[in-house]
Amino acid sequence: MSQLTEAIVEATRLGHKAFIPYIMAGDGGLDTLKPTILKLQQLGVTAIEVGIPFTDPVADGPTIEEAAVRALAKGTTLRKVLETLASFADEITVPLVAMTYLNPILAYGIDAFAKDAYEAGIRGVIIPDMPLEESTIVHPSLKAYGVDLVQLVSLTSTPERIEKLTKASEGFIYAVTVNGITGARSTFEGDLESHFKKIQSYTDTPVLAGFGISTPEQVKQFGTFTSGVIVGSKIVDSLAKDDWDTIESLVKASKVQIL
């Protein structure tokens, strides 16, 4: 079992749900990366999704997009993010998951990226603009260095597609809860419970829910039928306001015993 999967399984073993906050690297300057990561792991998060800012994001809503603009304005690049993470990698106790588009990886060099990412504490990668069929470009290098390639499963994927993506996904399965872009939402549509159970039926790899989750109630609600959640926009927004109480209440909601 990979380190990333193991961290999620460990949360489940404790009777909790996995909680993965998403942060935009370089938002507020790269100097904030270390204190933010150390504080999040202190709160007991399962893993941390580290977003690499990019000029042409695909699935990002306004909150994440604006954070990317701020991070890019501060000169954040993939290389600088990896160097910053590597500078305190010995203090990182939770697996990091990099969220980056394919172009920055290709520009960096696939093998060099996999090596440097691993050394920076990165144990998984999400590449939203890379279809499964093209993953053979990056997969061998990632595998060689022990970095999982996490697949996103959308609500509109056909059953055959869901089965394929689910079986290929490493670390966990990122099951998207809505048709659309990232960002906080008050309601969700459709029978998500049976959709998530169907995804889980294909594999033992844990299925996590992400997109739109922004309240402790929603964390608990999705926790009743998934292995845990990913929260992005609400975390990015709270960090920008230095509102750690909100972040703490979200993390705590994942630790309530859910029967």
Ligand X SMILES: O=P(O)(O)OC[C@@H](O)[C@@H](O)c1c[nH]c2ccccc12
Residue 148 annotated in active site:
no
Q: Using CB under 6 A, pick the residue from 71, 209, 230, 251 that binds ligand X.
A: 230
| 22 near ligand X (CB under 6 A) | yes
| 68 near ligand X (CB under 6 A) | no
| 222 near ligand X (CB under 6 A) | no
Q: Is 176 strand, coil or helix?
A: strand
| 21 near ligand X (CB under 6 A) | no
| 232 near ligand X (CB under 6 A) | yes
Q: Which segment (82-90, 139-147, 196-204, 207-215) binds ligand X by CB under 6 A?
A: 207-215
User: Which has the closest alpha carbon to 207: 248, 255, 242, 174?
Assistant: 174
Round to whole Å and give the CA distance between 76 and 54.
9
Residue 49 annotated in active site:
yes
Residue position matching structure tokens 């998403």? 22
Joined together, the tokens standing for residue 154 give: 């959308």
| 51 near ligand X (CB under 6 A) | yes
Query: What does the longest C-alpha to C-alpha distance in the chain come to?
Result: 47
Residue nearest to ligand X (CB): 232
Q: In one letter, which amino acid is 218?
A: Q
| 46 near ligand X (CB under 6 A) | no
64 or 117: CB nearest ligand X: 64
CB of 259 to ligand X, least distance (A): 26
Q: What is the DSSP string of 89-151?
A: GGG--S-EEEE--HHHHHHH-HHHHHHHHHHTTEEEEE-TTS-GGGGGGTHHHHHHHT-EEEE
CB neighbours of residue 172 within 10 Å: 30
Give the x/- contact pattern for ligand X in 117-156, rule: CB under 6 A. Answer: -----------x-----------------------x----
Joined together, the tokens standing for residue 153 give: 């499963």
State the catalytic residues: 49, 60
Binding site for ligand X (CB under 6 A): 22, 49, 51, 59-60, 64, 99, 128, 152, 182-183, 210-213, 230-234
